[in-house]
Amino acid sequence: MSLFILFEGVEGSGKSTQAKALKRRFVKLGLPVVLVKEPGSTAVGSASRRLLKHRLDIRIDPVTELLLFNAARSQLIAEVIRPALDKDQIVICDRYAESTLAYQGYGRGLDPNTIRTINEIATGGLRPDLIILPDIDVEEGLSRKGTAATNDRFEREDISFHRRVRQGYLEMGREEPDRWFVIDSTLTKRKISDLIWQKVQRYLPQT
Ligand code: TYD
């Protein structure tokens, strides 16, 4: 049985922590699981990640940004995600195409139809079975992220950018409630992890 679970969220939402916690639960059950992070998890992804997040000395055009995230994505799918799903493994992804709709669409203001077209080319139409969105107030999320000196290109965006990103996520969640699981990120880590596990179990074959 293959299963594709995506974690999305604004900065500091706790999604990466929860993605790792979910992976540990699958491992405990002896289920084959792969956890990947976007952009990253391949050589192309890591190179894009350095450019996109850490080259604060260059101005990256929003369309270039859209294409770079999707270049990293198509490579990740070809190299890791597709092969894992083909072997009936569970794939947990920390960010995916929905990040592009939220950040480059709602955040940067690129046309959502253009983004959907590019996302579609990169993903070949591969969509997650379930999208988990730990939701948090953006000020609170950013305050979990440390000092401005260590912040990356996205964390340095102004507060209205982050508010639009959150708004985008919540709108996508409302549009497709069967696919999205929105969860209050101010609950304890343990509680969030338990609620996610309850939800995910519905996607596993009953034994
Ligand atoms: P990362 O350090 O992975 O952030 P986080 O720990 O919050 O996931 O950095 C990824 C950054 O890239 C994050 O700020 C969101 C942004 N991003 C986009 O703008 N568009 C995208 O398509 C993706 C995948 C990420």
Q: What is the pTM of this model?
A: 0.96
Q: How far is the CA of 39 from the centre of ligand 1 (A)?
A: 7
What mean pLDDT do residues 44-71 have?
95
Spell out the domains of the chain, with CATH numbers in brackets: 3-201 (3.40.50.300)
Confidence band, pLDDT 50/70/90 cuts, at residue 207: low
Q: How far is the CA of 178 from the centre of ligand 1 (A)?
A: 24
Ligand 1 atom index nearest CA of 11: 7
pLDDT tens figures, 116-129: 999 999 999 999 99
Question: pLDDT at position 150, please?
Answer: 80
Q: How far is the CA of 207 from the centre of ligand 1 (A)?
A: 37
Among protein residues, the one with the nearest Cα to ligand 1's atom 5 is: 11
What mean pLDDT do residues 169-177 have?
98
Handedness of CA 6, 39, 14, 23 (dihedral sign): positive
Ligand 1 atom index nearest CA of 39: 24
